[in-house]
Chain A
Amino acid sequence: MSKPNFRKIDIDALEEDAFSLEELEQEIGETRPRHEVEALVGSRAQEVRSLLQRGNIGAALAKSLEDPPYGRDFDAAKERNTQTVMDVLNSTKSSDVPQLVKELNPVDQDVLMKYLYKGMASPEQYNSGVLLAWYEKLFEVAGQGCIVRVITDRRTV
């Protein structure tokens, strides 16, 4: 009889012309060279920090979510950018969160959700309590659609 784990057989391996992850990444991935992306992420971190110092949290949040680095070979830039976003999230009073989330445009809401999941993936590094508070408020505004989009999107942060 057939093997019970037949569903785990990689049938695409038998296909010469299978749709590959590389192909997909070519389409949606980052096209700029790595040093350029890293420089961009670095300067953004500076801008966000100065906005935070001036107490302009709304602008700092929007700035930190702008144009996030995607793609496979950008681990350093991704890490740096995550830290930038987390800095903003951690320096926000919890009473301001609902208003800030509402003011974000739908695209930024999806990006924020990506960073919340990313942060919660490493609880030793980031404060999950803060992230969950943001998650709750963001979910109220953006709904399940936002979560589905984060799960489906191959452009991970």
Chain B
Amino acid sequence: MSELPVINEFGQGPITCHAFNKDRTELAVCFNTNVVHIFRKNGNSWDVQWTLVEHDKPVTSIDWAANSNRIVTCSQDRNAYVWTLDPQIQQWKPTLVLLRINRAATFVRWSPEEDKFAVASGARCISICYFEEDNDWWVGKHIKKPIRSTVLSLDWHPNNVLLAAGSADMKARVFSAFIKGVDKKPAPSPWGEKLPFGTLCGEFSNGTGGWIHSVGFSPDGDALAFTGHDSTLTVVYPGTGSIQSIRAPSLPYLSLLWLNSTQLVAGGHDCAPHLFEANGQQWAFAASLDQATKKVEVGQSARDTFRRMDSRGQSSGSNDTELATQHQNTINSIRAYEGTRDNVSKFSSSSIDGRLIIWSTANITKGIANLRI
């Protein structure tokens, strides 16, 4: 029952980004406008509870800190706001963050400890923002070198210090975002031992060019996966120096998510989430998680068919532009919905078609296992 994908249709236009709260009862969505809508779950439907209006250009990214219940949004207007819920009046209050960037902000994510966040931008830099108690203010420190173009995606390492960034200069990089006074010295990892702020711990390219749409650390943080506009998925293990690029037969992936240390999903212009699996450190495409069956028309009589052919010149009811997949347009964001970072049991995907779909992985793993036997 719960194994079927759950489709949430909002019909308010393309979804550019989304984020759930901790217990998944509230959902922040942007429909390609300057407004963020927060919905509350009501049975099987979603009711608008709040609208966050403060940006004046389209919102590009939202992240919801689960434990501290704070929302951060960033926008093409070059600003980011941290929103906190005032418990007395039950309203979200914005606090402006000083990003000091001169181009659009493209992507934002809270660090795992939720004590800082990173904002990517078209100004060829990443702002690492943290709260300064003395001034009661969120301030940002820039990572600039050696980024040569717009940063499109970010992902935090579980140690709260390292940050991966995918950029339009065809490179995925790993930086140290160590902030004195906020972070404790991290344990040595394959990415390095001494990590002052801004250290470049790794720089990778997929070999064929194509800007990097999405980056993701493995659950233990010892591997990095990234997808590019050249329809490749690359997985890097700095410990062994192994770099593997998989040339996918499908259209480029815009977002990826590790389900566990040996499985990840990627979705994008193909409108379906694709599963990749590792055997040791060797990755390969496993399956599409969307069964992609054309909906069968029920109760269609010959008379209906002829009438339709007569009036619309079509032999079937569904028009030809309908895709066989659940999403009818590009998937632009895939996020964990249920489970822990090393064992995601459900994930959500949002798309330009205005749908948000929740997929169960229990179903998938069983399905694949059956295929093998």
Q: Chain A's nearest CB lies how many Å from the CB of B267?
A: 14
Which residues 196-218 of B sit at the A interface, judged by CB distance below 8 A?
208-210
> Is A146 positioned at the interface, with any CB of B under 8 Å from its CB?
yes
Q: Nearest Cβ distance between residue B330 and chain A, in whole angstroms? A: 13
Asked if B37 is an interface residue, CB under 8 A from chain A, the answer is no
In the complex, residue of chain A having the shortest beta-carbon distance to the beta carbon of B169: A19
Bound complex: CA of A142 vs CA of B251, how far in Å? 11
For B209, list chain A residues within 8 Å (CB): 28, 152-155
Q: Indicate whether A148 sits within 8 Å of B148 (C-beta atoms), given known contacts A153-B209, A153-B210.
A: no
A19-B169, A148-B230 are known contacts. Are A153 and B208 too (CB-CB below 8 A)? yes
Asked if A19 and B148 make an inter-chain contact with CB atoms under 8 angstroms apart, the answer reads: yes
Query: B249 to A143, Cβ gap below 8 A?
Result: yes
A95 within 8 A of B: no
Interface membership of B250, Cβ < 8 A:
yes
> Which of A149, A154, A155 has a CB less than 8 Å from the CB of B247?
A149
A1-B170 Cα distance, complex, nearest whole Å: 36
0/1 interface trace, chain A 95-111, chain B, CB 8 Å (1 if under) = 00000000000110010
Contact indicator A148/B169 (Cβ below 8 Å):
no
Verify if A23 is at the interface (C-beta below 8 Å from B).
Answer: yes
Chain B positions within 8 Å of A107 at CB level: 247
Query: How distant is the Cα of A146 from the Cα of B124 in the complex, in angstroms?
Result: 29
Residues B251 and A148 in contact, CB atoms below 8 Å apart: yes
A-contact bits for B222-244, CB 8 A (1 contact / 0 none)? 00000011111000000000000
Q: State the CA gap A119–B297 with chains docked (Å).
A: 44
Q: How far is the CA of A23 from the CA of B210 in the complex (A)?
A: 15
For the complex with contacts A107-B247, A148-B229, A152-B229, 17 further pairs of A-B residues with Cβ separation under 8 Å are A24-B170, A28-B209, A142-B249, A143-B248, A144-B250, A145-B248, A146-B231, A148-B231, A149-B210, A149-B247, A152-B208, A152-B209, A152-B228, A152-B230, A153-B209, A153-B210, A155-B208
A interface residues (Cβ-Cβ under 8 A, vs B): 19, 23-24, 28, 106-107, 110, 142-146, 148-149, 152-155
- Sample of 15 A–B contacts (CB below 8 Å): A19-B149, A28-B209, A106-B247, A145-B247, A148-B231, A149-B210, A149-B230, A149-B232, A152-B209, A152-B210, A152-B230, A153-B209, A153-B230, A155-B208, A155-B209
Binding site for A on B (CB under 8 A): 124, 148-149, 169-170, 208-210, 228-232, 247-252
